[in-house]
Structure 1
Amino acid sequence: MLLYNVTTIIEDAAADSWLKWMEDVHIPNVMASGKFVSYRLLRVLDSPNEGVTYCAQYVVEHMADYLDYQDNFAPALQAEVTALYENKLVAFRTLMEYIA
């Protein structure tokens, strides 16, 4: 099992709009790829950054599914968020393996 984490730091003024878009549009589109078995969306409470920090976490069972998502779904989904919130957020992505 793997955890794909997307940490986003978004300007205060755009945070509510972004959060609604994530819940109503983006996360359903990610899950519709069929590559992930579950997800969670978290708000970081003790972030040292300006703005609001969120983590969207998606659980994937197999590396092949993750790689297929990266090749066939991620580019369009990432382009959409960039177009909607250009210069209002910074995002970074990590892939982690469950140990225990």
Structure 2
Amino acid sequence: MSSPPIVLTTDFGTSDPYAGVMKGVILGLNPDATIVDLTHQIQPQNILQGAFVLGASHRYFPQGAIHVAVVDPGVGTGRRAILVDTPTARFLAPDNGLLSYVLREYLDD
């Protein structure tokens, strides 16, 4: 059985090695991982834009996809990461509101 895709959403850009290093770490943990770059072009530190992109895009990926998102003005600080399991996917992101649009879909009104 193949592992679910790992979907990356960041504000890293593509002119430096950070997105590539992130992929290298993932492949070091699981050489058979399927990595999808949703985007690395979120405006730097724009949590609202990142939240919108995740909220609008996650439903187009296969059941069980793992979304790893990094858009964080406090990157490199002691900010916690959070893991959220939903009925359709998993999300790993900083605890800064980046998952707010995703979570809206699963919260009771």
TM-score (norm 2): 0.33
Greater helix share, structure number? 1
Report which structure shows greater RCO (CA 8 Å, sep ≥6): 1
TM-score (norm 1): 0.35
Greater strand share, structure number? 1
